[in-house]
């Protein structure tokens, strides 16, 4: 059997670990051949295909990014996109695909699977917002990076007795903000799932100053004030209709300063959260996802996505996983409100 592999959407640490385990097990145990598609669905659309074998995947386990490249290309937004994808698969005798992606890349996979293309999905994203799996790989690394940043910001905030607002990624969901905020001992955590009241944030900030500590406010880029709109960097949209976020941190620091008369600054962690070597947990999870994905291909269990359920790797229907994003449950968020202020 010949298997094509692609990585799409925003990159995250652990993509190479999946590619490695898919290829190693596929070649060594199932005698499969492989090709890689460059830059996600763009490679399938433009017939940009590279050889993939055991020698290609040597040494890549700890490397961040993806050796195959990535993009936010959506074949359904291109004329004859599906036909062109089918032609590329036929030209390289590809029988099945392993698609490694988040909600958008896997959303395309869901549609292509309904149209008869044989494929298995692997969930990735630092945002941890893919339904059907307890965790995606990339998330643990991002939380580690954000937590270390918060730890460092505490000491400089205390020296200057000012508020430091830390903006983390998380377009629709506040998983990174919540986990890193709790781990880093933030005084306020703001997530997209719960619109925030700026006056309440200011009250928490002031109560922190009263006991002679400097407030750390962690805000997810997709968090929205109750009496305002989402703060955007610009209004351009990608092929999946997403605008570019970032800006809420700067905006909030200005509001805090203005309303409390105290000093406030912002640190935007941005793509630092997606770069570099994966954490041991992400290497472990990505490796297991890869091993189980290639088994699903071997068994012809297409239209599925490998997923973490407790400590077990299971398969779920792709359509179920991509029907909605996985949000932070508000009761979980509320558990930590005791630490606010």
Give catalytic residues, as residue numbers: 127
Q: What angle do CA 51, 126, 43 make, to 5 degrees?
A: 25
Q: Which two tokens stand for residue 302?
A: 């297409």
Q: Tell which one of 10, 43, 107, 290 touches ligand F6P (CB under 6 A).
A: 10
Is residue 170 a contact point for ligand F6P (CB under 6 A)?
yes
Residues β-bridged to residue 196: 225
Single residue of 35, 169, 201, 321 touching ligand F6P by CB under 6 A? 169
CB of 123 to ligand F6P, least distance (A): 12
Piece of 56-64, 74-82, 124-132, 224-232 that binds ligand F6P (CB under 6 A)? 124-132
Distance CA 208, CA 187 (A): 8
Stretch that binds ligand F6P, among 17-25, 120-128, 203-211, 256-264 (CB under 6 A): 120-128
What are the angstrom distances between the C-alpha of 322 and each of 123, 130, 317? Answer: 10, 7, 9
Look at strands 119-123 and 96-101 and give their pairing.
Answer: parallel
Site pattern 264..293 for ligand F6P (x: CB under 6 A) = ----------x-------------------
How large is the greatest C-alpha to C-alpha distance in the chain, in angstroms? Answer: 69
CB of 91 to ligand F6P, least distance (A): 29
**Interface with ligand F6P (CB under 6 A), residue from 180, 190, 245, 296:** 245
Contact partners, residue 251, CB within 8 Å, separation at least 6: 231
Interface segment toward ligand F6P; rule CB under 6 A; list 33-41, 123-131, 209-217, 279-287 = 123-131
Query: What does the alpha-carbon distance between residue 303 and residue 116 come to, in Å, rounded to a whole number?
Result: 9
Per rule CB under 6 A, is residue 126 in the interface with ligand F6P? yes
Site string for ligand F6P, 182-221 (x = CB under 6 A): ---------------------------------------x
Stretch binding ligand F6P (CB under 6 A), from 119-127, 180-188, 307-315, 316-324:
119-127
Q: Which is nearer to ligand F6P, 126 or 223 (CB)?
A: 126
CA distance 156 to 301: 53
Q: Is 171 in the site for ligand F6P (CB under 6 A)?
A: yes
Q: How many residues bind ligand F6P (CB under 6 A)?
A: 12
* CB closer to ligand F6P, 176 vs 188: 176
Q: Is 222 or 290 the residue whose CB approaches ligand F6P more closely?
A: 222
Taking the least distance from each CB to ligand F6P, the nearer of 179 and 274 is 274
> Structure tokens of 260?
């409390």
Binding to ligand F6P (CB under 6 A) within 20-79 occurs at none
Compare residues 88 and 141 and give the one whose CB is closer to ligand F6P.
Answer: 141
Between CA 157 and CA 243 the distance in angstroms is: 32
Contact 41, 82 (CB under 8 A): no
As measured in angstroms, the least distance from the Cβ of 11 to ligand F6P is 8
Q: Mind spelling out the 3-state secondary structure of 227-289?
A: CCCCCEEEEEECCCCCEEECCHHHHHHHHHHHHHCCCEEEEECHHHHHCCCCCHHHHHHHHHH
Nearest to residue 125, comparing CAs of 98, 102, 100?
A: 102
Q: How far is the CB of 70 from ligand F6P (least distance, A)?
A: 9
d(CA 298, CA 321): 21
Residues found near ligand F6P in the complex (CB under 6 A): 9-10, 102, 125-127, 169-171, 221, 245, 274
């Amino acid at each position: 059997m010949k298997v094509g592999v692609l990585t799409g959407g925003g990159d995250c640490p652990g993509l190479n670990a999946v590619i490695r385990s898919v290829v190693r097990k596929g070649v060594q145990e199932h005698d499969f051949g492989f090709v890689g598609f460059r830059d996600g669905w763009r490679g399938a659309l433009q017939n940009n295909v590279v050889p993939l074998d055991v020698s290609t995947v040597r040494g890549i386990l700890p490397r961040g990014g993806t050796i195959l490249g990535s993009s936010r290309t959506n074949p359904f937004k291109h004329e004859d996109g599906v036909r062109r994808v089918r032609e590329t698969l036929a030209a390289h005798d590809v029988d099945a695909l392993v698609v490694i992606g988040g909600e958008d890349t896997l959303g395309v996979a869901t549609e292509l699977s309904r149209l008869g293309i044989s494929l298995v999905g692997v969930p990735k994203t630092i945002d941890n917002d893919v339904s059907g799996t307890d965790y995606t790989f990339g998330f643990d690394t991002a939380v580690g990076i954000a937590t270390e940043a918060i730890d460092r910001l505490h000491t400089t905030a205390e020296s200057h007795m000012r508020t430091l607002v830390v903006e983390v990624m998380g377009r629709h969901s506040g998983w990174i903000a919540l986990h890193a905020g709790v781990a880093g001992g933030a005084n306020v955590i703001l997530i997209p799932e719960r619109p925030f009241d700026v006056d309440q944030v200011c009250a928490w900030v002031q109560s922190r100053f009263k006991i002679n500590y400097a407030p750390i406010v962690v805000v997810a880029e997709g968090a929205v004030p109750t009496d305002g709109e989402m703060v955007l960097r610009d209004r351009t949209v990608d092929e999946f209709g997403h605008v570019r976020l970032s800006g809420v941190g700067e905006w909030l620091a200005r509001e805090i300063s203005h309303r409390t008369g105290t000093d406030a600054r912002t640190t935007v962690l941005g793509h630092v959260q997606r770069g570099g070597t994966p954490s041991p947990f992400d290497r472990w999870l990505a490796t297991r996802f890869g091993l189980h994905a290639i088994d699903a291909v071997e068994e012809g269990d297409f239209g599925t996505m490998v997923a973490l359920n407790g400590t077990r790797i299971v398969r779920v229907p792709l359509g179920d996983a991509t029907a909605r994003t996985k949000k932070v449950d508000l009761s979980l968020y509320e558990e930590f409100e005791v630490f606010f202020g």
